[in-house]
Amino acid sequence: MSNLTFHPAFHTMALLAVVVSAVVLVTVCYRQTYGLLRPGQWLLLFSLRIVAIGIVALLLFRPIFRVEDRSNKRTTVVFVIDQSASMSIADNASAITRWQQACDQLRSWWPELSSLYDLKLCLFSDSATQLDDLAALDDLHPTGKATSISRALIAARHASTGQTTEAVILISDGIQNAAGNPARTARRLGMRVYTVGVGDPLHERSMKHDVRVTDIDCPESLAINNRCRITGFIEAAGMPGRVVDVQLLEDDKEVARQTLTLDDNEGAQEVILEFVPANKGLHTYTIRVPQQTGEEIPQNNARSASALVHDARIRVLYLEGTLRQEFGALVGRFLSKDPNIEFCALIQTRPGVFVQRSNIEGLRLKAIPDDSETLDTFNVFLIGDLDSNYLPERIMKLIRNRVTDGAGLIMIGGYHGLGPGGYGQGILQEILPVEMGSRQIGQATEPFHPQLTRDGRHHPIFANIAAFFDTANNNSASADLPPLNGCVKIAGTKSGATILLVHPTIRIDGRPMAVMAVQPVGKGRSAVFTADTTRNWHQTLKAMDRETPFLRFWGQTIRWLAGHNDAVQTEAGIIATTDRAYYTPGMPITIRATVRGDDGVAVGNANPHAVIQAPGRRTTQLNLAEETGPPGHYSANFDPPRSGRYEITVSTQFKNKQLTAPKLQVDVGRPNLEFDRLDLDQKTLATIASDSGGQYLHISLADRFTEQLKRIYKQEIVQIEVPLAWPPLLWVLFVGALASEWLLRRRYQLR
């Protein structure tokens, strides 16, 4: 486009008026000379005068020739559409799903905006991808198992890399249940985000009939064949007095059911369901209320959680009164290396002051716990050389109650244990299998080999290690077994006790004195082992590279006291665990492994690795690093890229043997996580918009965004200006025109 313009002070009509007036005046002036000259002479003079006047007009009006080029400044608009499972519900009056509403809105905008902007499209749930073709939406469905709006915004930035972005338009129900902080991400994005809310704020639909499971309280690990409790929280609207069934499902199979009468009060009602898991492994547990008559949104009638059913790990509380060698052997060579045991050892460093050693994550004790809540978490109590003066009576009562309810208790010998420690008249005497006697009962200080009784030979504590011990008829079995360095004397055994080991020379009432005795106590079990030098069994035989009964003896003792009769494995193997069965999206998975040598003891420098199979069959290999502390323990962290179930196999090469642990399964993103909360989260969407300089609208009003984008649509006008009046040249021409006219007039003899 081009045009001719003049100095801003003048108008085209003024120029025309001046030119016309000048022509008229010149014509009038030269009319008198027309008859004196030939026509050619007159026309030449007339033209020179007109040219001079024209030059003056150009100097006065300064004409400019302008060329305008209209060129669009193309910028980018990025659409980001929520494809998570919560978008599959239909909660508007027309019964159209949130996903379909979002797709229809996008299709209506696309043709109009594509003529103004370069359009990009991203879909997201717990991760985000860019879509190249709008038509591909026809074959897609909202199936994402979690929602990360933060990752969606980051994907929008990557989609527009290298281009100027006018706006990001986010269409979502605002439910954020995965990694990231959307508002913080929006602030750092550097782009305006316009948010479009899809769905209804369900908490405002008080006139609708709705039942929803608002929460589930499920432990992450459950002990097989033990009664377990899972709690559901149910909230209802518009159905007071209705009786509903609340079901507990294990992998879609019903394992418990309760009836609940719905109320209309604010807040959830609590339902406790109990069951006994019978199959080990990772299971999905679901609290569900069947869809009720008149209920429009059944997707929120269930909530699920993952839990790992396993052989229960045994928790041991070890109380020791002195820093003696037996303590180091029990903690360093047994408790800390047995993969099936969690322990807390409290050792008295000065009267009444204890120091903790433990492998129980998060447990911090500075004294013997005196509350049932803590003590009831332990399955076995091991009391060593600790005088009863430092074990208050109220704590003894709590231990006794815990043992009668199903735990185990063992007391071992020492100069301040059993009778010499003052326990003969205490509360614990009631539940132990021996009569401990008074503080003056004394010690047997001569080394000896304990003899195994007939009951002991067949008892689970001595499974696979009975051959190490003498019996009354065979004194040669212990030829290679180092002796014990004495023991505490006792006053006798109780009628309900089972004697497993006896002293070869000391007798009470004509019978050999018990060195080890056990008995049932209510639902639990108790034991007494009067010696305190089993470390000899390990140190001497281990130095000779011989098999030792130490690990099996203590492992099987603790297992029997806890109600587990499993024999301890003394062969090479590997055990793998994760720190939990369920991880929220964005949380790292911690993989741990313990590698055992041929004698069953944990070994270092094994270099195990994990093969992790993610959803979609993609695999990752990860090396486990050896942890600080006792050898044989390894760990590594893995960041799961998306939600779903992961399978983990840990293995290692040990002495030309391939050791492989049983396959682990963990869930990232709780099953049905997307349906935990279905309310449109307008607050989150509005915060994202305001923090980025954008605006929030519900989808019913979202057409305003297209009008706003049209208004801010930018065009760049390119103008080329060419001045048509160059004063120096014009003055030369003006002078030339006047001089020529004057010379011609003289030549033609005119005044």
Parts of the chain belonging to CATH 2.60.40.1930: 573-668
Per-residue CA distances from 165 to 78, 161, 196, 508, 707 (Å): 8, 9, 18, 94, 17
Domain 76-88+98-193+680-711 has CATH 3.40.50.410: yes
Backbone dihedral angles phi then psi of residue 407, each to the nearest 5 degrees:
-90, 180
CA atoms within 13 A on the CB side of 739: 6
Both tokens of 380, joined, read 């076995």
Q: 132-182, pLDDT tens digit by residue?
A: 888 888 889 998 888 889 989 999 989 888 788 888 999 999 988 877 889
pLDDT of amino acid 685: 94
As a CATH number, domain 210-310 is 2.60.40.10
User: Tokens 């048509």 belong to which residue?
Assistant: 724
Parts of the chain belonging to CATH 3.40.50.880: 314-561
pLDDT of amino acid 546: 65
How is the beta sheet containing 625-626 ordered, strand by strand? 573-578, 589-596, 633-638, 625-626
DSSP-derived pairing of the beta strands 408-412 and 524-529: parallel
Q: If 0-12 CB within 10 Å is exposed, 13-18 middle and 19+ buried, where does residue 365 land?
A: middle
Instruction: Tell me which CATH homologous superfamily contains domain 573-668.
Output: Macroglobulin (MG2) domain (2.60.40.1930)
Could you give the CA distance from residue 514 to residue 450 in angstroms, rounded to a whole number?
9
Parts of the chain belonging to CATH 2.60.40.10: 210-310
CB 500 within 8 A of CB 493: no
**Any bridge partners for residue 118, and if so which?**
76
Positions of the chain with pLDDT under 70: 1-12, 14-15, 30-36, 59-62, 64-73, 202-208, 312, 477-478, 540-547, 565-570, 599-601, 629-630, 671, 712-725, 749, 751
Asked whether the CA dihedral 483, 489, 495, 497 is positive or negative, the reply is negative
Asked whether the CA dihedral 291, 292, 296, 300 is positive or negative, the reply is negative
Residue 29 makes CB contacts below 8 A (sequence gap 6+) with 49
Reduce the secondary structure of 606-674 to three states and give it as a string. CCCEEEEECCCCCEEEEECEECCCCCCEEEEEECCCCCEEEEEEEEEEECCEEEECCCEEEEECCCCHH
Both tokens of 623, joined, read 């090396």
**Residue 144 DSSP code:** B
The domain made up of 314-561 has a fold known as: Rossmann fold (3.40.50)
Parts of the chain belonging to CATH 3.40.50.410: 76-88+98-193+680-711
DSSP 186-202: HHHH-S-EEEEE-S--G
Closest by CA to 374, choosing from 364, 382, 384, 383, is 364
Could you give the CA distance from residue 285 to residue 273 in angstroms, rounded to a whole number?
11
pLDDT of amino acid 207: 46
Cα 132 to the center of its chain, rounded Å: 30
Both tokens of 689, joined, read 């918009």
Backbone dihedral angles phi then psi of residue 445, each to the nearest 5 degrees:
-100, -5
pLDDT of amino acid 204: 47
pTM score? 0.53
Taking residue 152's Cβ as centre, other Cβ atoms within 10 Å add up to 29
For residue 749, is it left (φ>0), alpha (ψ between -120 and 50) or beta? left
CB 728 within 8 A of CB 223: no
pLDDT of amino acid 28: 72
CB 113 within 8 A of CB 702: no
pLDDT of amino acid 717: 45
